[in-house]
């Protein structure tokens, strides 16, 4: 053991994305692996845009120069997109935007800017995006966890309210996803009203990673709510997961705080160019969304046809489901086995939060998913 490493680091495990390397060699070499475990778009950037990006790199980016550390052009383009996509009367400005190396970086910056080194904790309602807790814990920040309704995954608001009133570790930040991952439900009016009722001393982070699929947003409320922040990303509908670009829309004072603590050149020139290009060509890129939603509904209907599966409707590009009527232990076991058998057949899906999360893929991928699931499910029930 190296003694200079913080003792609490031992209890964490490094994030292991796409465990495709676990797929048996025989499977991986004989068939295409369907990556339906991380909610990316199944579609690569169109060739014409890749060519434009390559041209930008050759002609406009000086590799020997640091990137634009202020992200000015990109922030202006994002501000315009946010304004347009919500038809805002008062436009969002660049001063209300901070750009991160993925929204993961912004989550960490929010934690540093609010809770680090104080008695402040964060509140999350499980199951939800795991990064909030993981990043908080690596910074020694407390995580208060509350539950959701097992029927519709609405946050247990009584529990959440009670948690805010605990004296020992004041909650400074509430993290919600809209629509939630992994359960795919958008915030209900009751949940939104609860968030609206919170004191301005509490930061409410609303992660809209799936906004382009759900078309539900709270950005229009930011003008009257200085304690709300919206997170978005280019990793999902904009097909730029490889480039790691996320952004936060919030009160200029919070944005200024985030900018003070981030690394100076956090976003490579190439990624900034990719995000700008994606925004210019957003119509083309977002054109595939209706198809993805139609594919999602097809998957939902097919999965709902299995009497032994419980499937939840989705406001995003993924579907959450699990076997019905099992006790907790056997259900966990069954889920692990289903996920394992799917992987052995070449489909990666995510076993998380007591269910299985399946990304909507291309038509071919979805057809394979249903075939493979059918074979597996038939052997179980
Ligand atoms: C995918 C996802 C993100 C995106 O993270 P990036 O770091 O921008 O790739 C953020 N929040 C949620 C809830 C997600 O599902």
Name which of 307, 309, 371 is nearest 335 in CA terms.
Answer: 309
* Whole-angstrom distance, CA of residue 366 vs CA of residue 236: 18
What is the atom index within ligand 1 of the atom nearest the CA of 235? 9
For ligand 1, whether the C-beta of 102 sits within 6 Å is yes
- Does any ligand 1 atom lie closer than 6 A to the CB of residue 317? no
Query: Which atom belonging to ligand 1 lies closest to the Cα atom of 233?
Result: 8
Q: How far is the CA of 279 from the centre of ligand 1 (A)?
A: 18
Nearest CA to ligand 1 atom 5: 103
Question: Is 183 close to ligand 1, i.e. is its CB under 6 Å away?
Answer: no
Total-model pTM: 0.95
pLDDT score recorded for residue 377: 84
**What's the CATH number of domain 48-285, 3.40.640.10, 3.40.50.1370, 3.40.50.1220, 2.40.128.50?**
3.40.640.10
pLDDT of 25: 63
Cα 167 to averaged position of ligand 1 atoms, centre (Å): 32
Q: Give the pLDDT of the chain (381 residues) as one tens digit per residue.
A: 788 999 888 888 887 765 555 666 666 555 679 999 999 999 999 999 999 999 999 999 999 999 999 999 999 999 999 999 999 999 999 999 999 999 999 999 999 999 998 779 999 999 999 999 999 999 999 999 999 999 999 999 999 999 999 887 799 999 999 999 999 999 999 999 999 999 999 999 999 999 999 999 999 999 999 999 999 999 999 999 999 999 999 999 999 999 999 999 999 999 999 999 999 999 999 999 999 999 999 999 999 999 889 999 999 999 999 988 666 656 888 899 999 999 999 999 999 999 999 999 999 999 999 999 999 988 776
pLDDT number for residue 327:
63
Residue nearest to atom 6 of ligand 1 (CA): 102
361 CB-near residues (< 8 Å, 6+ apart) = 34, 35, 36, 42, 295, 369
Query: What pLDDT is stored for residue 119 in this prediction?
Result: 75
- Which pLDDT score, from 0 to 100, does residue 23 have? 63
In sequence order, the 6+-apart residues with CB closer than 8 A to the CB of 223 are 90
Q: What is the DSSP letter of 185?
A: P
Q: Could you state, in order of their start, the residue ranges of all structural domains in the chain?
A: 7-36+288-380, 48-285
Cβ of residue 122 lying under 6 Å from some atom of ligand 1: no
Closest CA to 302 of 347, 230, 363, 355: 363
Domain 7-36+288-380 has CATH 3.90.1150.10: yes
Ligand 1, residue 241: give the atom nearest the CA.
9
Position 10 scores a pLDDT of 86
CB 318 near ligand 1, within 6 Å: no
Ligand 1 center to 133 CA (angstroms): 14
Per-residue model confidence (pLDDT) at position 54: 97
Burial of 264 (0-12, 13-18, 19+ CB in 10 A): exposed
Which of 153, 211, 246 most suits a substitution to test ligand 1, by most atoms within 8 Å of the C-beta?
A: 246
What distance in Å separates the CA atoms of residue 273 and residue 92, rounded to the nearest whole number?
A: 21
Nearest CA to ligand 1 atom 12: 209
Closest CA to 276 of 33, 76, 67: 76
Start-to-end C-alpha separation, the chain:
48
The C-alpha atoms of residue 301 and residue 233 are separated, in whole angstroms, by: 29
| Residue to mutate (ligand 1; options 38, 107, 111, 129; most atoms within 8 A of CB) | 129
Those residues whose C-beta lies under 8 Å from the C-beta of residue 195, and which sit 6 or more positions away, are 174, 176, 187, 204, 206, 228
pLDDT at residue number 22 = 60
For residues 297 and 317, give the distance between their C-alpha atoms in angstroms, rounded to a whole number: 10
Return d(Cα 217, Cα 123) in angstroms, integer.
Answer: 21
Is ligand 1 within 6 A of the CB of residue 207? yes
**Per-residue exposure over 103-136, b if at least 16 CB sit within 10 Å of its own CB, e if not:** bbbbbbbbbbbbbeeeebbbbbbbbbbebbbbbb
Going by C-alpha positions, the residue among 267, 254, 276 that lies closest to residue 96 is 254
């Amino acid at each position: 053991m190296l003694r200079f490493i913080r003792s609490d680091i031992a209890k964490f495990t490094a994030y292991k994305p796409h465990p495709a390397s676990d797929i048996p060699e025989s499977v991986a070499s004989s068939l295409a692996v369907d990556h339906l475990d991380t909610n990316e778009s199944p579609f690569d950037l169109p060739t014409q845009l890749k060519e434009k990006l390559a041209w930008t790199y050759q002609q406009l980016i000086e590799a020997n120069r640091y990137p634009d550390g202020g992200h000015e052009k990109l922030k202006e383009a994002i501000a315009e997109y946010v304004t347009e996509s919500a038809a805002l009367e008062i436009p969002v400005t660049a001063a209300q935007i901070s750009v991160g190396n993925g929204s993961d970086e912004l989550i960490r910056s929010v934690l540093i800017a609010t809770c680090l080194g104080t008695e402040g904790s964060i509140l999350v309602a499980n199951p939800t995006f795991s990064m909030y807790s993981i990043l908080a814990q690596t910074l020694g920040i407390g995580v208060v966890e509350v539950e959701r309704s097992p029927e519709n995954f609405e946050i247990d608001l009584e529990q959440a309210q009670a948690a805010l009133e605990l004296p020992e570790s004041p909650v400074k930040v509430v993290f919600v996803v809209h629509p939630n991952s992994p359960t795919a439900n958008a915030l209900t009016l009751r949940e939104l009203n609860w968030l609206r009722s919170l004191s301005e001393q509490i930061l409410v982070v609303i992660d809209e990673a799936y906004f382009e699929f759900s078309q539900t947003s709270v950005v229009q409320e930011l003008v009257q709510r200085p304690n709300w922040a919206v997170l978005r990303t280019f990793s999902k509908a904009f097909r730029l997961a490889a480039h790691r670009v996320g952004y936060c829309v919030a009160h200029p004072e919070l944005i200024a705080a985030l900018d003070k603590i981030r690394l100076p050149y956090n976003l490579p020139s190439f990624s900034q160019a990719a995000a700008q290009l994606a925004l210019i060509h957003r119509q083309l890129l977002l054109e595939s969304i209706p198809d993805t939603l139609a594919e999602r509904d097809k998957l939902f209907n097919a999965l709902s046809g299995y009497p032994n599966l419980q499937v939840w409707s989705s406001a995003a590009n993924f579907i959450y489901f699990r076997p019905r009527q099992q006790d907790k232990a056997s259900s966990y076991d069954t889920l692990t086995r289903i996920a394992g058998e799917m992987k052995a057949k070449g489909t990666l899906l995510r076993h998380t939060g007591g269910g299985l999360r399946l990304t909507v893929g291309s038509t071919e991928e979805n057809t394979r998913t249903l075939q493979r699931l059918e074979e597996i499910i038939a052997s179980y029930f």
